[in-house]
Structure 1
């Protein structure tokens, strides 16, 4: 019979928490609204607060127990706009099921609008505790925590390709655009864009691997590169049509570990266009490891545009024919 869980573990699994948080000004990229990446950052911060409230802050998990905190899956549905000066009421509700070996949480973000409580985002986050080989645990794990620990994130499954991956060599190589046979094979005839580069340390945590916030940044950057590649560069669209990008849903799942300075192949595929208002893309990430590709992350995002009908009054913009053509016409060149 399993031992009675430590009170801190019971709190993680059973006790809802509420944090009052503010988004970072960094996320205020266009107009007064906060972008999807930083809305997800607030959801992550709320779960970090939940761990602190339970008595298991991530610093103690790492220093005392040798465990790294990793968000391995984040799925968000975005509702009302989150403004740069908003104070968010972030409610974390434990959703871990019996027998699951990952923590699962629902995070709802509420703001006040004209005296009313409005939900601006609803997320599900999955958290794993990764045993860190760099340090030695100072004390045993609290009872009930072991089932949520893992020696490695993912399985390391290899992808067979006809094209032979060749390392770039220099760290600064690959940041521009160049033809790549592996990306060409991954993309094939699909409506996709490809990007190959080396991951810097500033995307990583615990001295080693890319964290979830890093993949949120990668998703944002590949979208920017994709739009520019299709003739829809964000600044130009803003200047000529008055449209700003908006995200309604996003999802990223870590399938394996991506290690600092590994070469990352990111394939960004347009999957659907809905009623000339929204389009959905899929992001698949691979690393070059021992001469083979390993799929380390996957995700999806739903995008549209807002148009400023009157000052500070926004409505969904309907895609014109040129935009639909750009989104649906694959380019032969890859980056």
Structure 2
């Protein structure tokens, strides 16, 4: 089936309870340290599995957009990684609709092998957003109109909304967003290549934002990725991440991203929160929120690593103390 056209199946069939399976490979871009695949590209595999599920069930994203003016938007992705992916691995993905919501899916991905090893479990929610640009070639069928929304973020939000919407344009926004918090914030212009369907920042853009703000935060605390690699052969690993869209962020708006350390657990993992806003009419509007959990591992050889406990320097930096300089052992 051509992925840019609708299947000839009846349009009500795609939202039937059905399981789909697909084999995928991680992208080469995601192999940044040795041959391991980072959490962002693992989430890309989850996203691709869901899109393939929609295609198999007759909801090809290109066809929905071109025929009915419906945009397939992933608005929530919650992933747990239990086994590392390497660049040459084959990912075997299984997708099934969740009960009670035909556009919410459970995804399980295994690494091909004998036997296969379960590597990822995820929950994903999709919305069909009506395109405001131009008119569609055909009216939206009743079966799909049930799921269509005029704006992302109108569905019930399953996480707490950030409490910073009262900051105005006259304030020092970044200072206000981090005041009294163990946090780091930055302002960034949304480029077109983080967007889709002509105007909106898409989920993969927020995954890239989450990856980058972690990198900036660690560098700001004196424990950058390269510093710990050079001095201790340590790398961060991610067992869990989640991002939920709360509203729409538009191309070329300025996005304010706040990264807040919420907890450090027994010097084994730390969990942080990412909150994203755009400034409209002098008020910060929350557009996305998420959480990510990190541990650290020491590189043993080109293929293997093992988890380590945080030393005083890393623990102190995560808890808000400035990191002391250090030389390689």
Return the TM-score normalized by structure 1.
Answer: 0.88
Cα distance between partner residues in 2 of 1:135 and 1:40: 32
Shift of 1:144: 1.8
When the two structures are aligned, how many residues end up with a matched partner? 308
Residue number in structure 2 paired with 1:129: 128
Matched, 1:11 2:14: yes
The aligned residue for residue 238 of structure 2 is 247
Which runs of 5 or more structure 2 residues have no equivalent in the other structure? Answer: 1-8, 155-160, 323-329
Alignment of 1:1-335 (within 5 A): 7-97=10-100, 100=101, 103-113=103-113, 115-154=114-153, 160-161=165-166, 164-165=168-169, 181-310=172-301, 312-329=303-320
CA apart distance, 1:39: 0.6
CA distance in 1, matches of 2:282, 2:299: 49
Distance 1:31 1:262 in 2: 36
SS across alignment from 2:193: helix
- 3-state SS of paired residue (1:145): helix
Residues 45 and 147 of structure 1: CA distance in aligned 2, closer, same or farther (over 3 Å): same
Unaligned runs of 5+ in 1: 1-5, 167-179
The answer (yes or no) to whether the contact 1:92–1:106 under 8 Å persists in 2 is yes
- TM-superposed deviation, 1:9: 3.2
- In 2, are the aligned partners of 1:72 and 1:253 still within 8 Å (CA)? yes
TM-score (norm 2): 0.89
The runs of at least 4 aligned residues of structure 1 exceeding 4 Å deviation read 157-160
What displacement does 1:206 show? 0.6
* Cα RMSD, aligned residues only: 1.9
> Could you tell me whether the CA contact under 8 Å between 1:12 and 1:50 is conserved in 2?
no
Contact kept, 8 Å, 1:190 with 1:330, in 2: the verdict is: no
Q: 1-side partners of 2:52 and 2:165: how far apart?
A: 42
SS of the aligned residue for 1:38 comes to: helix
Per the TM alignment, residue 235 of structure 1 is displaced from its structure 2 partner at its CA by: 0.8
- 1:141 Cα deviation (Å)? 2.4
How far apart are residue 244 of structure 1 and its match? 1.1
Q: 3-state DSSP class of the match of 1:116?
A: coil
**Structure 1's 330 and 69: CA in aligned 2 closer, same or farther, altered over 3 A?**
farther
